[in-house]
Amino acid sequence: MGWPNTDTWSAERDQQTVKTDEGDRFTWVIGCGDLKLPSGRLVACDPFAAMEPGNNAFVAVPPGRYPVTVTLADVSPELDRSHIREAYVTIRLSEGREAYRKALPLARSGEDRPELAEGEYVGFPVDAGTACFVDDWSVANCMPPGQTWYEGLFDSGRPDSWFNQMDDPDKI
């Protein structure tokens, strides 16, 4: 297994204990449903700090619906599920065995995607400690105006606001 899978951490390790320098960690995988990508422009970003009303940096994939899973890790010393972290998110772009693994840099329309040197990886800042995956067309066409996102969606104070949904112990 190549990056990002290592001896101590690996995406989609279900019901396994992994040994780390900080102690044993227990991992399990949960399904999160399908991600709809009508345009095939897969955006990965911190929605609270970096999502734009359109033309977000993206990776092109075939339009469609893709299953998403999250690998959770119990990082508590007792492994009693008192300190759970989201370790990995997996978007399965095809059925069957993995054919290859390649880091895909994000870029906006018209930008060149740089080739990564050996050992480089793709990432994005998570200023609010949150990551999301979304279709760029869906953001541009299905979200309310960008200037209303914070008070209208993210932190409206209503039970269905994004912040309240994230704090709900019954949800990830």
- Tell me the three state secondary structure of residue 22: coil
What is this structure's pTM? 0.81
| CB-count exposure of residue 46 (10 Å: 0-12, 13-18, 19+) | middle
pLDDT higher than threshold 60 for residue 3? no
Share of the chain above pLDDT 90, in %: 42
- Tell me the three state secondary structure of residue 158: coil
Structure tokens at 37: 């990508």
Cβ neighbour number for residue 11 with a 10 Å cutoff = 16
Give the model's pLDDT for residue 1: 37
Q: Name the residue ranges covered by the structural domains of the chain.
A: 16-167
Residue 35: beta bridge partners?
Answer: 66
Q: Which residue has the higher pLDDT, 164 or 113?
A: 164
Do 132 and 45 form a contact (C-beta atoms < 8 A)? yes
pLDDT higher than threshold 80 for residue 87? yes
Q: How confident is the model at residue 140 (pLDDT cuts 50, 70, 90)?
A: very high
Give the model's pLDDT for residue 23: 86
Give the model's pLDDT for residue 94: 86
Do 11 and 71 form a contact (C-beta atoms < 8 A)? yes
Do 64 and 34 form a contact (C-beta atoms < 8 A)? no
pLDDT higher than threshold 90 for residue 121? no
Give the model's pLDDT for residue 74: 93
Distance CA 163, CA 62 (A): 31
| Percent composition of the chain: helix, strand, coil (DSSP 3-state, to 5) | 15, 30, 55
The mean pLDDT of the chain is 85
- 49-74 residue pLDDT tens: 899 999 999 999 999 999 999 999 99
Do 131 and 87 form a contact (C-beta atoms < 8 A)? no
Cα–Cα distance list, 123 to 20, 57, 58, 81, 162 (Å): 23, 12, 12, 28, 23
Give the model's pLDDT for residue 99: 65
